[in-house]
A and B are shown apart, each in its own frame.
Chain A
Amino acid sequence: MATSTVTAGGALTTTRDTTRARRPRASRVTLHVFLAVMALLWLFPVLWAFLSSFRDYNYTSTHGYASFGGFTLENYKNAWEQADFGRHFWNSVIITVPAVTITLFLASCVAFVLARFSFRFNIALLGLFTAANLLPQQSLLIPLYRLFRSVPLPYFMSDSGILLDSFWGLILVNTAFQTGFCVFVLSNYMKTLPHELYEAAMVDGAGILRQFFQITLPLCRPPLAALATLEITWIYNEFFWATVLMQTGDKFPITSSLNNLRGTFFTDDNLVSAASVLVALPTLVVFFVLQRQFVSGLTLGATKG
């Protein structure tokens, strides 16, 4: 990995500037035109959905979409009510928040041990975690489905009485699946923390737990923030597990409830677009507000010590 080659930003800019001066102007313009066209092409489907969501169905069906007018907020109201969005959003929250929290905590624990000590099994363990969330989910489905069906839960935890069709099951499976990635990123980051910190702490008599909570975790705020952003988006967007492990319609989190919505909204594309915008909204907030966190989460893990 080309990580040892990070140069100070200043040097980088200077070299790039000289390159720019030498480049002919025309090619620069071509480049911008090309990128602008591509960018608009890429934005178009989302903008189109956004636009259609404000159009009245009767207006667009008589005048066509290439018209102007018939703007309304009704689609949002109808989509929200017909699809029971409030409930499904809440289901997503119930699943996403604990799953992300537990994932990050467990991953930090493992990463801390892997980064702090060199046991013989370190590499194998890291491989075991990292590979786990690259497996195709479908290849685990059958045994997991059976397992979840046979694990009883008390009724106050799950009204199905079993792990299948319960929020606990989804939280568990999402946690198990996402931990690997976080372990990988966090352990790479933790390996770059100066070892002297721990030496000093040990001289002061701090045990492992204090080292973990008072030294490592506070220093890991940047990767934890990035991972939290990323994992919230991923678990919110998660479709497969919720589709197969949930059975009662009103327990589906928002992303997999889309599956049932296609039937409901089949005849009205403007409703479909309003629903799409609503579902996309939380991730669009992430996109606009936390973009840097998201991107650095995706590309993090490279700063190896």
Chain B
Amino acid sequence: MTDLPTVPVGAPTESGAPGLRARRPARPRRSRAHRLSRTDKAVLTVMVAVPTALVVGLVWLPAIATVILSFSNWDGIGGLGTIHWIGFENYQNVVTNYPPFKPAIEHNVIWLAVMFLLATPLGMFLAVLLDRQLRASAFYQASFFLPVVLSLALLGFIWQLIYSSDQGLLNNVLGTKVDWYGDPSVNLWAVLVAASWRHTGYIMLLYLAGLKAVDPSLREAAQMDGASERRAFFSVVFPVMRPVNVIILVVTVIESLRAFDLVWVINKGRNGLELISALVTNNVVGEASRIGFGSALATIMLVISLVFITIYLATVMREDT
């Protein structure tokens, strides 16, 4: 999994082309297509059609196919003709007849809760602290941001050095013999520490960029009115940051839903580390390929994510309309 590519956290680029900084006075609308020659029209069509075909063909059509397959009991071996349609039976089985489903849902919810209640607020808090003229600010920022360039799979390796049961640092320091990655009563929390380590830095970065774009005169005005720094943040800056807040919320939700690499590299998402994403994968590439059943799980993920993607799009595109 790569990072959730979030975008537009209101930061001006430092290296923009000349004239990009200030909002330009009204300029002529972008031109319409009617003045174009036939060649130009053909070129434009190709420029849009090829990437669109790629994205539709490899992202959207498979997503739709997943939904359709979730109503079948296909084993993935026979041709498409062997598909039987069984209505909502897969969903019924997922809920009533599939022991790992309940823990997986619980773990995803715990994951989201930890990110939402601890990692994200911590990242925002660090961003607020760093959003001022501070000596060594670059050093602090770089430290928090360092984990963001590392892959989540690699995180599993790096934290193994701290968590492993006999050679791990943690057990050596505490004098314990806990198998932090293996023991199902603690491993989720151990993994969440590693995931939060990265997520905090990521949120710090996004939020800091957002904060830098807030009009300083707003804060100044609040200070003139005698508001304390805390008050100024909560009653002036935070509300202005609404789009960034929404984006960070959506990032947190979708990242929590897509969490996969870390648990997969540790134990393929079993034994205390069940996550929906790992269940889907296990049902497709694992020992039993249960296409219809796996698709039902995947569709559940898809529906949840689409709700938040819609919120995200509504937020980032508001200015485009």
Binding site for B on A (CB under 8 A): 1-7, 11-13, 15-17, 19-20, 31-32, 34-36, 38-40, 42-43, 45-46, 48-49, 52, 60-61, 64-66, 106-107, 109-110, 112-113, 115-119, 123, 125-147, 172-173, 175-181, 183-185, 188-189, 191-195, 198, 202, 207-209, 212, 219, 222-223, 226, 230, 233-240, 243-244, 255-256, 258-259, 261-262, 269, 272-273, 275-276, 279-280, 283-284, 286-287, 291-292, 294-296, 298-305
Which label, helix, strand, loop or mixed, suits the secondary structure of the A interface? helix
Cβ–Cβ contact B216 & A12, under 8 A:
yes
Query: Is B8 in contact with chain A by the CB < 8 A criterion?
Result: yes
Cβ–Cβ contact B59 & A61, under 8 A:
no
Alpha-carbon separation in the docked complex, A198 to B37 (Å): 15
Segment touching A, from B92-100, B160-168, B183-191: B160-168
For chain B, the count of residues having a C-beta within 8 Å of the partner chain is: 142
Residues of B near A135 (CB, < 8 A) are 59, 63, 302, 305-306, 309
Residues of B near A141 (CB, < 8 A) are 280-281, 284, 294, 298
A142 with B295, Cβ < 8 A, contacts A65-B169, A109-B47, A237-B2 known: yes
A172's nearest neighbour on chain B, judged by CB, is: B58
Cβ–Cβ contact A145 & B52, under 8 A:
no
**Which residues from 18 to 51 on chain B have a C-beta closer than 8 Å to any C-beta of chain A?**
19-24, 27-33, 35-37, 39-40, 43-44, 47-48, 50-51
Alpha-carbon separation in the docked complex, A195 to B26 (Å): 11
Known contacts A38-B140, A115-B30, A145-B284; 6 further A-B pairs (Cβ under 8 A): A19-B223, A35-B129, A65-B167, A239-B152, A255-B151, A272-B157
Alpha-carbon separation in the docked complex, A5 to B23 (Å): 9
Residues of B near A193 (CB, < 8 A) are 17
Residues of B near A61 (CB, < 8 A) are 167
Cβ–Cβ contact A303 & B132, under 8 A:
no
A298 with B206, Cβ < 8 A, contacts A117-B30, A135-B63, A208-B36 known: yes
Cβ–Cβ contact B7 & A181, under 8 A:
yes
A42 with B144, Cβ < 8 A, contacts A137-B1, A139-B301, A141-B281 known: yes
* Nearest CB on B from A305, distance (A): 7
Query: Is B9 in contact with chain A by the CB < 8 A criterion?
Result: yes
Query: Is B192 in contact with chain A by the CB < 8 A criterion?
Result: no
B61's nearest neighbour on chain A, judged by CB, is: A143
Query: Is B226 in contact with chain A by the CB < 8 A criterion?
Result: no
Of A146, A172, A280, which is within 8 A of B76 by CB?
A: A146
Cβ–Cβ contact A302 & B55, under 8 A:
no
Alpha-carbon separation in the docked complex, A269 to B158 (Å): 10
Of A40, A123, A136, A237, which is within 8 A of B302 by CB?
A: A136
* Nearest CB on B from A234, distance (A): 4
Residues of A near B1 (CB, < 8 A) are 137, 238-240
Cβ–Cβ contact B154 & A280, under 8 A:
yes
Alpha-carbon separation in the docked complex, A180 to B59 (Å): 10
Alpha-carbon separation in the docked complex, A275 to B153 (Å): 12
Residues of A near B132 (CB, < 8 A) are 16, 19-20
B45's nearest neighbour on chain A, judged by CB, is: A113
A53's nearest neighbour on chain B, judged by CB, is: B161
Residues of A near B161 (CB, < 8 A) are 45, 48-49, 52, 269, 272-273, 276
Cβ–Cβ contact B284 & A207, under 8 A:
no
Alpha-carbon separation in the docked complex, A223 to B12 (Å): 12
Query: Is B233 in contact with chain A by the CB < 8 A criterion?
Result: no
Q: Which of the listed residues A40, A135, A222, A304 has the most CB atoms from chain B within 10 Å of its own CB?
A: A135
Query: Is B274 in contact with chain A by the CB < 8 A criterion?
Result: no
Cβ–Cβ contact B265 & A48, under 8 A:
no
Cβ–Cβ contact A209 & B52, under 8 A:
no
* Nearest CB on A from B255, distance (A): 10
Cβ–Cβ contact A279 & B240, under 8 A:
no
Cβ–Cβ contact A244 & B284, under 8 A:
yes
Cβ–Cβ contact A6 & B213, under 8 A:
yes
Cβ–Cβ contact A140 & B66, under 8 A:
yes
Of B9, B66, B153, which is within 8 A of A299 by CB?
A: B9
For the complex of A and B, 4 pairs with smallest distance between CB atoms? A237-B151, A299-B209, A5-B215, A39-B143
Cβ–Cβ contact B205 & A136, under 8 A:
no
* Nearest CB on A from B115, distance (A): 15
Query: Is B6 in contact with chain A by the CB < 8 A criterion?
Result: yes
Alpha-carbon separation in the docked complex, A202 to B37 (Å): 11
Cβ–Cβ contact A175 & B8, under 8 A:
no
